[in-house]
Structure 1
């Protein structure tokens, strides 16, 4: 006889939540069940110990492996070529969702289901996204620094100094500080420098390439792996071969340039996301 599972979430009066602000977590079934994503029967040690949301009660719990993989897709560290997650919605710049019912998950629910290592990675990316949502937040532009802070943008002051490394940055053009030089003159000068870097890139046999995002231009070295590259500085995804970029892990597979070996035509009724940045001379 099946045991009755009380709805612990609704038993909390007035919509109370747990200490971390997430809804109460409902215990998951104990019997071995088939994962709704990979359809493999899993032992109870291979599935989360709790059902993620009330909506998840309509299906079997997602196994640990599939849940971790969905989080890695969400933060852009895994491609969407997983055979059972090809239609998984992009959450690259939003919150995590359940890969089975696509319910939005709270940090507490994610922590309850994810492995510690994957949760740490997801938390780090989510923290970055939360900071960038603040219009006053700025990342330090020094390539040797990964810090950021809130910047006072009131008044006529154009200079802000990083509290961590002390480097100076320009508020107006979001570039390293250019004392005694207007933003326009500085942009023209570095355009010449970028052209020289592109020529150096070609002469070194493509050992490194510059991030195709004009505001970044971080040097990235690729030693192995597939052609999908994640910029550690500005967090965009782009193709190493055609340099097509997109900020969504889900749409990236459809974003290659038509002459790229990895290009796939859109499925019937689907429009491609063409947001190319051509590898042309800066300022052209």
Structure 2
């Protein structure tokens, strides 16, 4: 047919589109250009929706090239900005001096260099006071020491332990978080449950339906 000489059939949506709508997906891809820009954008969007990490591979069959920021920017400025924001949030979350605001209606966080020496942290966006040491809303009626005494040593130790380890929501085994992203998989061979480290939401649901299935107070909720 005449139009096939000026248009290409997309191998994802099977629509014939103008040749200029078939982008080189990464700077290093050397396969034929047969996935249209609309489908590439949908693919990147789905990856950003379902992944807690932001490493995205080219969707072309058996192509393992990774999309870097420039690749995403060439395809969509909006997706580039979104990917960049996710990367920044992920990097900040790994910093020991950083805390997210404990106001569920506030999406901000900040670096608190004074650390445990000055545990009252006031959010620069909404003004909510949080406890840096215990990573909870500020306990107005007591100092950190009094708060721990009030909780009891066992409970205080458990709270501090919970900052580094959490129980698998399915089998209950305690899991230690490394430096990776918040997508966790239980190490018990008979369990292998996948969940969000921050809000314990079921990652299978998140993968299928998107980030709105994190808890609304979770930083990954979207």
Contact kept? 2:57, 2:65, Cα under 8 Å: yes
Contact kept? 2:54, 2:86, Cα under 8 Å: no
In the superposition, the TM-score normalised over structure 2's length comes to: 0.57
Contact kept? 1:37, 1:62, Cα under 8 Å: yes
> What does 1:171-250 align with in structure 2 at a 5 Å threshold?
171-179=132-140, 180=142, 181-183=146-148, 185=150, 229-235=213-219
CA distance in 1, matches of 2:73, 2:197: 36
CA distance in 2, matches of 1:216, 1:185: 26
Residues 1:214 and 1:64: Cα distance change in structure 2 (over 3 Å)? closer
Contact kept? 1:159, 1:177, Cα under 8 Å: yes
Partner of 2:58: 98
Partner of 1:123: 84
CA distance in 1, matches of 2:135, 2:97: 12
Partner of 1:69: 42
Report the CA distance between 1:215 and its aligned residue.
5.9
Relative to total residues, which structure has the larger helix share, 1 or 2?
Answer: 2
Partner of 2:187: none
Partner of 1:140: 101
Contact kept? 1:173, 1:183, Cα under 8 Å: no
Report the CA distance between 1:170 and its aligned residue.
1.2
Please, which runs of 5 or more residues in structure 1 have no aligned partner? 1-29, 78-90, 189-211, 218-225, 238-284
Contact kept? 1:75, 1:122, Cα under 8 Å: yes
Residue 107 (str. 1) matches residue 69 (str. 2): yes
Report the CA distance between 1:172 and its aligned residue.
2.2
RMSD: 3.8
Residues 1:134 and 1:99: Cα distance change in structure 2 (over 3 Å)? farther
> What does 1:9-24 align with in structure 2 at a 5 Å threshold?
none
> What secondary structure does 2:130 align onto?
strand
Partner of 1:44: 19
Partner of 1:33: 8
Residues 1:31 and 1:112: Cα distance change in structure 2 (over 3 Å)? farther
How many residues are treated as equivalent by the alignment?
A: 163
Contact kept? 2:6, 2:19, Cα under 8 Å: yes
Residues 1:45 and 1:59: Cα distance change in structure 2 (over 3 Å)? closer
Report the CA distance between 1:176 and its aligned residue.
0.5
Please, which runs of 5 or more residues in structure 2 have no aligned partner? 156-194, 201-208
Residues 1:42 and 1:53: Cα distance change in structure 2 (over 3 Å)? same
CA distance in 2, matches of 1:70, 1:122: 13
> What secondary structure does 1:58 align onto?
coil
Report the CA distance between 1:94 and its aligned residue.
2.9
Residues 1:122 and 1:61: Cα distance change in structure 2 (over 3 Å)? farther
> What secondary structure does 2:137 align onto?
coil
Residues 1:127 and 1:215: Cα distance change in structure 2 (over 3 Å)? closer
